[in-house]
Structure 1
């Protein structure tokens, strides 16, 4: 049986919760369909030592400050999961967990959403599926020949899984630096860290509060036609959170340039030098998880969806939230998703009330 709502939100992580908060304030009839079996979004799958870039008070969703975690200036992923679960309950958001959305289609004046919870018809859809479920693995010559184990950031949990191994970490961003630092602290692990360019650490006093302000200022400048400030990318690639800072200052994080190919035993560089590897951890980022929107035909030649704010230019009943700066400054962060979520809810309410 088909069910009806004003708005269907696809995804129940931090962006979906922020959308739900503002849709409730607009008194709209909505449902949140979440593929995860439990609250917490992608945070419930993070590695054990992962910490936020910002103190709890600066990592909050709209309406509810994240409480501090005792003894931890930067909360861990488990604390974030508890906060998101409490947020969902506190605001009585209508979330159906274990309800993966497979397709969104045009259906006359409404959009039809096909999910594990049945079909829904809605006047608007907010897609908030993020990127965690679509890890990116680069094409590297010889990757198929490598005899060891290969995994992405999404499957890393703890250094205890790699005791006595040679581990190759690939990627010069935050996840690469944090996982390399996690492994480097263990004497029984031989670490090789490969990056495309020398690691660019942000100044030690920069955390998520500053990054949010910088991203917001860049978006404001672009919207006003001013010179592009470069945003966060102009400051560096790696936030020097305490574990990374400690490993860096102890000289435990020497980085090698990206290798040219993989052999059966490990990486090989263009000068012929090699390093052994039992496991490769690819910290090479993600792509937006947008397969459910394929029937709408809104993606361009390179897979990008053109938006004005959060709204799709090709399908005005579709909004995208939490995928990065192209759907709002810092919208893929806890503190940054609130503003674009509010704007999307206001715009949808204005349209529906007409």
Structure 2
């Protein structure tokens, strides 16, 4: 069965919902196709202790402030899931789920064809808002395949209860690595391996300052001024309370990244080794863009070149929420609102032209 609609939004997480909000305000005919069984995007799959970097008021999608969570300055993932669920219902966004998009193709006319496991859609524009959570990155470290212990990525981690009394290596010096290391620091024999010494942001800096820094950097680049460095100039790790407490207790001591793994643990270049029952790879993600492969748009580092959120070589395609290359801080709740608004306006103009 083939259905017709002006715009197909692929992904029903925070970026897809923000796009839906603005498309609805402009009176555009659209659907949101979401592969998940329930609302909440990737937040419903996060580890138990994950908290936002910002207070609720600074973690909101357009049109609807996130309510505060009782007893928490920084809301947890479950609170975010509840907020996204309520947001979707409040604005009666046309989300179809579970619908898995397999491919997007060009048609001979002015349409794109979106193929899914529940039929085909013909559309004048596509917003890809699938995020990165579904494509975890694992580095090609020698010996990884021969390690006999347990290996997990950030996406697989749920909490410290599974590792009590174990020897655990956490790999990665970003926010996920620091938060998971802090989670495990009390009840495990922890090794935290980072490529460079951890760079903690000042304790009074949270997501509000990070959003401002990312926006200022984007504005400077757009105006031809010197690169301010953005968020990276401030540090790598937001000192949310659990991280701060473990750090101040002397429990977050980082080691340099090891050279390889053997059957029973990790080994550094000088021959020093540490036994490990588990290695948790907090080594980041790549954009989930497999459904766009038929369009032949892939550029350097797996990214599709864009101007703003619009694909350079396919003006009917927009990419939203993948990081700074699709809008300053666009992978965050507060940051995705502005590029979502600009995307909706651009699409409305596109539809008017045609």
Calculate the TM-score normalised by the size of structure 1: 0.99
Name the SS for the 1:345 alignment partner.
helix
- Aligned mates of 2:239, 2:165 — CA distance in 1: 27
Q: CA deviation at 1:301?
A: 4.8
Alignment of 1:2-41 (within 5 A): 2-41=2-41
1:153 aligns with 2:154: yes
What residue is the counterpart of 1:223 in the other structure? 222
After superposition, the C-alpha distances for 1:37-73 in whole angstroms (9 at most, x for unaligned) are 1000000000000000000000000000000000000
What residue is the counterpart of 1:143 in the other structure? 144
- Residue segments in structure 1 that go unaligned for 5+ positions in a row: none
What residue is the counterpart of 1:299 in the other structure? 298
What residue is the counterpart of 1:163 in the other structure? 164
- Aligned mates of 2:291, 2:70 — CA distance in 1: 40
- Aligned mates of 1:221, 1:102 — CA distance in 2: 38
Calculate the TM-score normalised by the size of structure 2: 0.99
- Aligned mates of 1:116, 1:20 — CA distance in 2: 22
1:277 aligns with 2:276: yes
Alignment of 1:150-299 (within 5 A): 150-186=151-187, 189-299=188-298
- Structure 1 pair 73/10, CA: closer, same or farther in 2 (3 Å)? same
Q: Which runs of 4+ in 1 moved over 6 A?
A: none
After superposition, the C-alpha distances for 1:243-289 in whole angstroms (9 at most, x for unaligned) are 00000000000000000010111000011111010000000000000
The answer as to whether partners of 1:323 and 1:332 remain within 8 angstroms in 2 is: yes
- Aligned mates of 2:304, 2:72 — CA distance in 1: 39
Name the SS for the 1:124 alignment partner.
strand
Q: CA deviation at 1:302?
A: 3.5
- Aligned mates of 1:101, 1:335 — CA distance in 2: 26
Q: CA deviation at 1:182?
A: 0.3
- Aligned mates of 2:253, 2:301 — CA distance in 1: 35
CA RMSD of aligned residues (A): 0.6
What residue is the counterpart of 2:343 in the other structure? 344
Range moving further from structure 2, 108-117 or 194-203: 108-117
- Aligned mates of 1:251, 1:180 — CA distance in 2: 12
- Aligned mates of 1:289, 1:338 — CA distance in 2: 20
- Aligned mates of 1:125, 1:144 — CA distance in 2: 39
Q: CA deviation at 1:164?
A: 1.9
Q: CA deviation at 1:145?
A: 1.2
The answer as to whether partners of 2:287 and 2:303 remain within 8 angstroms in 1 is: no
Name the SS for the 2:132 alignment partner.
coil
- Aligned mates of 2:130, 2:59 — CA distance in 1: 19
Name the SS for the 1:179 alignment partner.
helix
Matched residues, number: 352
- Aligned mates of 1:127, 1:4 — CA distance in 2: 17
Name the SS for the 2:302 alignment partner.
coil
The answer as to whether partners of 1:146 and 1:266 remain within 8 angstroms in 2 is: yes
- Aligned mates of 1:319, 1:85 — CA distance in 2: 24
Name the SS for the 2:6 alignment partner.
strand
After superposition, the C-alpha distances for 1:326-347 in whole angstroms (9 at most, x for unaligned) are 0000000000000000000000
The answer as to whether partners of 1:111 and 1:122 remain within 8 angstroms in 2 is: yes
Q: CA deviation at 1:304?
A: 1.8
- Aligned mates of 2:290, 2:240 — CA distance in 1: 34
1:327 aligns with 2:340: no
What residue is the counterpart of 1:103 in the other structure? 103
The answer as to whether partners of 1:98 and 1:116 remain within 8 angstroms in 2 is: no
1:133 aligns with 2:119: no
- Aligned mates of 1:85, 1:185 — CA distance in 2: 34
What residue is the counterpart of 2:313 in the other structure? 314
- Aligned mates of 2:303, 2:17 — CA distance in 1: 24
What residue is the counterpart of 2:47 in the other structure? 47
